Amino acid sequence: MGLKGFVEGGIASIVAGCSTHPLDLIKVRMQLQGENPAPRPNPAVHSLRPALAFHPGSVHRVVPPMPQAAAAPARVGPIAVGVRLVQQEGVTALFSGVSATVLRQCLYSTTRMGLYEVLKQKWSDPNAKSTMPLSRKIGAGLISGAVGAAIGNPADVAMVRMQADGRLPVAQRRNYTSVVDAISRMAKQEGVTSLWRGSSLTVNRAMLVTASQLATYDQVKEAILKKGVMRDGLGTHVTASFAAGFVAAVASNPVDVIKTRVMNMKVEPGAKPPYSGALDCALKTVRAEGPMALYKGFIPTISRQGPFTVVLFVTLEQVRKLLKDF
């Protein structure tokens, strides 16, 4: 298997990542809803003259105007987010940051998919009649996900920023022209360490996604074939993929929300960052928006994770057939 597993996983991941990129972008925009809403002008503060109340037999006294609470922006669903995005930024905005997606898949997914196969091969007993236990599959997924995420974090940060850029006011946009431009500017302006901002979250999320996604796919596929429900073909691959995508989405969404916010935060020189770390971001998010804020973007997450996982594994199975003689 060796190098071949990395090549197969890389090709499948790039195809899946590019084909589901618009859904991933909508997910990121939804995860940022409710974060630091822009303050709305208060009409009361524009009045320079204090209101006067007159009571018979008494002097005039100043009654300060009552402050008006700023209304929180309405949260909208994935379809509305997508429509608004196209209306305000154009159809091409659906592929904002796609170059970062390609680089991320080349670094992160190629590593995790290839390493998972290597570990599976090493930990499987060729003389055993039964397949590798689920616990070992999960262990292989945790290790391969962590290594892949550590390698691919700079591309992940660039992708999140490029996807989120359009929601910022024009004057505050970063306007990265490509993933190379994003990474080089981050390194120059914010230091090389900024490329690994949120890396602990990226690693945790990748461990959850890889362990749940790859292990679930293998386990469900083996169960279907063992019980004779379907033959080893497209139907089996699609069924196992959907199961894997759902489990991965449920497991990873809370970490994904925090990761998105930490990576996207704007840190001004000399100013205190909005979040001191992952735990601080999680606590502030839950306090300000409630615990269900950790499942923001879940519909587009599952909408993206399902097709992504299906395309990933169906493509992977086809690539394996093409490269079986190599």
**Residue 36's pLDDT band (boundaries 50, 70, 90)?**
low
- pLDDT of 37 > 70? The answer is no
Could you read off the pLDDT of 192-243 as tens digits, one per residue?
999 998 888 889 989 999 999 999 999 999 999 999 999 999 999 999 999 9
Q: What percent of the chain has pLDDT over 70?
A: 86
Choose between 294 and 55: higher pLDDT.
Answer: 294
CA dist., res. 89 & res. 98, Å (int)? 15
Q: Which residues are registered as beta bridge partners of 51?
A: 63
DSSP 63: E
Report helix, strand and coil shares of the chain as percent, to nearest 5.
Answer: 70, 0, 25
Q: Cβ–Cβ contacts within 10 Å for residue 213, how many?
A: 29
- pLDDT of 41 > 70? The answer is no
Q: Is 115 exposed, middle or buried (0-12, 13-18, 19+ CB in 10 A)?
A: buried
Is the CA virtual torsion 137, 125, 314, 6 positive or negative? positive
CATH superfamily of 2-34+76-322: Mitochondrial carrier domain (1.50.40.10)
**1-5, 15-19, 51-55, range with the lowest pLDDT:** 51-55
- pLDDT of 43 > 70? The answer is no
Could you read off the pLDDT of 76-99 as tens digits, one per residue?
788 898 999 999 999 999 998 899
Could you read off the pLDDT of 47-66 as tens digits, one per residue?
444 444 445 554 444 445 54
- pLDDT of 298 > 70? The answer is yes
For residue 290, give the amino acid letter: G
- pLDDT of 174 > 60? The answer is yes
Mean pLDDT of 250-279: 87
For residue 187, give the amino acid letter: A
What is the pTM for the complete model shown?
0.73
Q: pLDDT value at position 268?
A: 79
Mean pLDDT of 127-156: 90
Cβ–Cβ < 8 Å for 96, 9? no
Q: Which bin fits 70, alpha (ψ -120 to 50), beta or left (φ > 0)?
A: beta
Torsion of CA 132, 134, 137, 143, to 10 degrees: -140
Q: What percent of the chain has pLDDT over 90?
A: 52
- pLDDT of 244 > 90? The answer is yes
Q: pLDDT value at position 83?
A: 92
Domain boundaries, the chain: 2-34+76-322
Q: pLDDT value at position 65?
A: 53
Q: Cβ–Cβ contacts within 10 Å for residue 287, how many?
A: 10
Three-state DSSP at 209 gives helix
CA dist., res. 147 & res. 137, Å (int)? 16
**Residue 106's pLDDT band (boundaries 50, 70, 90)?**
very high
CA dist., res. 179 & res. 161, Å (int)? 10
Q: pLDDT value at position 310?
A: 93
Q: pLDDT value at position 74?
A: 59
One-character DSSP codes across 254-319: HHHHHHHHHHH----TTSPPS-SSHHHHHHHHHHHH-GGGGGTTHHHHHHHHHHHHHHHHHHHHHH
For residue 296, give the amino acid letter: K
Cβ–Cβ < 8 Å for 122, 22? no
- pLDDT of 45 > 70? The answer is no
Q: pLDDT value at position 124?
A: 85
Q: Tell which residue, 284, 280, 292, 134, has the closest CA to residue 218.
A: 134
Q: Tell which residue, 200, 155, 161, has the closest CA to residue 32.
A: 161
Q: pLDDT value at position 75?
A: 65
**Residue 132's pLDDT band (boundaries 50, 70, 90)?**
confident
What does the mean pLDDT of the chain come to? 85
Could you read off the pLDDT of 265-287 as tens digits, one per residue?
888 778 888 898 889 999 999 99
